[in-house]
């Protein structure tokens, strides 16, 4: 089973939404975690935006990347362009991608658009990993 780490600056929105999508769309087929270059709190807007489409991320927590070991992950996805700030052992995993998505924390009105972009990217990632759900 592939282990996926989604990373963002503060692990408050984009990486949290990606974790929610991956856990839902890849249920039973991958293990998913998210973290940030620093920990903060899951933004209420992220929780609300995901709840609008039936995914509950309210129990997810914000964690610092330093709490995890890179060798425990096969796939590392940066959602904010922070890949350049990651230690080399994180960017040399089996799969590393840097999606560079807009930060909805700066413009809350774009949460739905960013959420939909994340869903599309996560779906493509799961297809690439051959763990796409049948739904």
Q: Which of 5, 8, 32, 65 is catalytic?
A: 8
User: Which has the closest alpha carbon to 53: 102, 109, 115?
Assistant: 115
CB 43 within 8 A of CB 71: no
The stretches of 29-135 forming alpha helices (DSSP H) are 44-51, 88-91, 111-128
82 is annotated as an active-site residue: no
The encoded tokens of residue 9 equal: 């600056």
Q: Which of 5, 7, 47, 80 is catalytic?
A: 80
d(CA 35, CA 41): 11
Torsion of Cα atoms, 82 then 83 then 84 then 85, to 10°: 60
d(CA 97, CA 49): 24
Any idea which residues carry the catalytic annotation?
A: 8, 80
């Amino acid at each position: 089973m592939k282990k996926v780490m989604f990373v963002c600056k503060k692990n408050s929105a984009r990486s949290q939404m990606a974790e929610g999508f991956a856990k839902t769309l890849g249920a039973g087929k991958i293990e998913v975690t998210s973290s940030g270059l620093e920990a903060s709190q899951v933004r209420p807007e992220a929780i609300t935006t995901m709840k609008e489409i039936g995914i509950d991320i309210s129990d997810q927590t914000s964690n610092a990347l330093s709490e995890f070991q890179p060798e425990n992950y096969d796939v590392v996805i940066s959602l904010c362009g922070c890949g350049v700030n990651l230690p080399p052992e994180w960017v040399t995993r089996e799969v590393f991608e840097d999606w560079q998505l807009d930060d909805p924390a700066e413009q809350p009105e774009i949460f739905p658009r960013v959420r939909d972009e994340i869903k599309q990217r996560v779906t493509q990632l799961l297809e690439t990993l051959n763990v796409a759900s049948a739904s």
